[in-house]
Amino acid sequence: MTISPTQTSAAAAPDPIAGLALAIHRGEPGAFERAVGTFEKPLFNYVQRMLRNVADAEEVVQDTFLRAHRSLTEKYTEAQCSELALRPWIFRIARNLTSNKRRGKRFEVEVQLSEDAGSAATVPGVSIVCRVELKDDLGRLEEALYRLPASDRELILLRFMEEMSYREIAEMLGSSEASLRGRVFRAVRSLRTLLEGETDEL
Partner 1 sequence: MSCEELQRDLDAWRSGELAASRQTEVETHIAGCDECGELVDGLDSIAGLAPVLKGEPERRCIDALEREHLDRYDHFDTSLGHVHVAFTERGIRAIRLGGTKDSFREEHAKRFGRALHCTRISDEVKREITKVIEEGGSTGLAVDLDELGEFERRVLAVLREIPQGEVRSYAWVAREAGRPGASRAVGNACARNPIPFVVPCHRVVPSSGGVGNYGYGPSMKRSLLGAEGVPVSMLDRMAAKRFRYIGSRSEGSYCVPCCSDVRDLSPDDVFFVRDERSAAAQGLRPCTSCRPLVAV
Distance of CA 8 to the CA centre of its chain: 16
Name which of 149 and 182 has its Cβ closer to partner 1.
182
Asked whether the beta carbons of 64 and 97 are under 8 A apart, the reply is yes
Residue 66 touching partner 1 (CB under 8 A): yes
**Which of positions 92-121 make contact with partner 1 (CB under 8 A)?**
none
Asked whether the beta carbons of 91 and 46 are under 8 A apart, the reply is yes
Residue 165 touching partner 1 (CB under 8 A): yes
Q: What is the DSSP string of 10-29?
A: HHHS--TTTTHHHHHHHT-T
Stretch that binds partner 1, among 33-41, 77-85, 91-99, 111-119 (CB under 8 A): 33-41
Q: Please state, in angstroms and rounded to a whole number, the distance separating the CA atoms of residues 18 and 38.
A: 12
With helix as H, strand as E and coil as C, how does 100-140 read? HHHHHHHHHHHHHHHHHCCCHHHCCCCCCCCCHHHHHHHHH
Q: How far is the CB of 144 from partner 1 (least distance, A)?
A: 10
Which residue from 15, 18, 30, 106 is in contact with partner 1, where contact means CB under 8 A? 30
Counting residues that bind partner 1 (by CB under 8 A) gives 61
Residues near 190 by beta carbon (within 8 Å), at least 6 away in sequence: 148, 152
Which residue from 19, 92, 105, 138 is in contact with partner 1, where contact means CB under 8 A? 138
Name which of 157 and 173 has its Cβ closer to partner 1.
157
Residue 85 touching partner 1 (CB under 8 A): no
Q: Please state, in angstroms and rounded to a whole number, the distance separating the CA atoms of residues 10 and 16.
A: 10
Residue 32 touching partner 1 (CB under 8 A): yes
Residues near 28 by beta carbon (within 8 Å), at least 6 away in sequence: none
Stretch that binds partner 1, among 14-22, 24-32, 79-87, 104-112 (CB under 8 A): 24-32
**Chain residues in the site for partner 1 (CB under 8 A):** 1-3, 5-8, 10-12, 24, 27-33, 36-37, 40-41, 44-45, 49, 58, 61-62, 65-66, 69-70, 73, 123-126, 128-129, 134, 137-138, 141-142, 145, 156-157, 159-161, 165-167, 177, 181-182, 184-185, 188, 191-192
